Structure 1
């Protein structure tokens, strides 16, 4: 769907969602956009990048944004195309939520008046709010990590907790990678358009870059903490496993005694103590229990029962 969301003096904003073949042809024939730029803009798997077509007068910005889908947090690319003094945003169903945010961003940045605002400034003030969502998501991941971390020492670690921590780690890696790519792209954007933009427009771009840089630092720190917690959980699991193996080893040694005693008396060797006595069976049991007790005491003295 191609929708005119905003039409002001300096530009018109076209929002393109879930582009169809007919709409693609319309953009090429009526809006004079190039097939190459449209292809980059609508690609689900396109990497963050800046693309220029100076002959056609088109500048494409592909940037990652946060997406919530099926209780999962992901990053997906959106395309922002500046062409012929207009701006086009390309989204799919998961990223279509950006339209109201760009139209009316709730942040401290002040936009110029309707008859003065440029397409670059309009987009940058909207991107600022979209980048804030990275900070919100990192904060939420930290909350979930603290819940898992608080359970240390209170109960035995479970596979579910390990899986939850791995899931948070995977999410943070994706977020960290997207933020790093966004930051590089914004740096390139500012450098390339430095001579074409006004001072306050450059300030708004810098605000977005600072927000991305702050989110990137938060993501790096959060990932380090998650890795530390994961390592600590692994150490606890290894300690529990070592303790289990020690207990099994002690049991195997202690339970070897009855086999040895019964083996001697089962060989029908003459002159074994109490072998011919009527109560010899009970005597062998007593001998076995005494030897098992002695082995257990030796193990205790040697520290085998220390966790």
Structure 2
């Protein structure tokens, strides 16, 4: 769907959501965009980068934003195209919220009047709010990690806790990769446009870069802590496994004694002690228990029962 969101004095903003074949044809025929640049803008797997077509007067920015799907938080690319003096944004279902954020970013950056603002400055003030969502998401991941970490050593470790940690690690990988790519792309964007835009617009670009840098630092720290907690869980699980194997080994040694004793008396060899007496059965049980206790005492003194 192609929507004319708002007309400014210097440009018109069009938002394209879930592009269809008919929409693509309209963009090519009526808006004079190239098929190649539109394809880059709507590709789900497009890498974060800048793409230029000077002949067609098209400059495409592909940048990652947070995407929300059920309880899973990932990152997905959106396309921001400056073409023929107008602005085009491209999104999909999971990133369609960017339209509302860009239109009303609610941040500390000062946005110019509709009669003065340029397409680049308009986008940068919106991107600032989109990048702050990374900080919010890293903070939320840290909160979830602290809940899991608080259970460390106090409750029995479960597969669910390990899966929750793995899910947090996966989300952080998406976030770290996206932030690093966004930072590189914004640096390239500033370098390419710094001679064409005003000083205050460069400041707004720098604000976005600083926000991405802060989120990147938080993400790196959060990932390091999550990895440490995950390693601690793994070490505790290994310790529990070692203890289990040690207990089973002790049991197998102790339970070998009855087999040995009963084996001797089951051979029907003459002159075995107490074999011919009326109370021989009970005597062999006592011998077995004494030997089992002796073996257990030796193992205990050797430290086999220490966890």
Q: TM-score, normalised by structure 2?
A: 0.99
Name 1:292's counterpart in structure 2.
292
- Matched residues in 2 for 1:256 and 1:207: separation? 73
Q: Does 1:179 align with 2:206?
A: no
Deviation, structure 1 residue 47: 1.2
Name 2:273's counterpart in structure 1.
273
SS in 2 for 1:63: strand
SS in 2 for 1:242: helix
SS in 1 for 2:202: helix
SS in 2 for 1:59: strand
Q: Does 1:46 align with 2:59?
A: no
SS in 2 for 1:195: coil
Name 1:19's counterpart in structure 2.
19
Deviation, structure 1 residue 76: 0.8
Deviation, structure 1 residue 45: 1.3
- Matched residues in 2 for 1:47 and 1:171: separation? 18
- Matched residues in 2 for 1:291 and 1:85: separation? 94
Deviation, structure 1 residue 29: 1.3
Deviation, structure 1 residue 68: 0.9
Name 2:195's counterpart in structure 1.
195
Q: What is the 5 A alignment of 1:1-307?
A: 1-307=1-307
- Matched residues in 1 for 2:25 and 2:270: separation? 104
How many residues get paired? 307
- Matched residues in 1 for 2:224 and 2:23: separation? 46
- Matched residues in 2 for 1:258 and 1:19: separation? 77
Deviation, structure 1 residue 79: 0.3
Deviation, structure 1 residue 176: 0.5
Q: Deviations over 1:143-177 (max 9, x none)?
A: 00000000011111011110110010001001111
Q: Which runs of 5+ in 1 are unaligned?
A: none
Deviation, structure 1 residue 109: 0.2
Q: Deviations over 1:10-29 (max 9, x none)?
A: 11101111112122111111
Large movers: runs of 4+ above 3 Å: none
- Matched residues in 2 for 1:263 and 1:35: separation? 86
Q: Which runs of 5+ in 2 are unaligned?
A: none
- Matched residues in 1 for 2:12 and 2:71: separation? 35
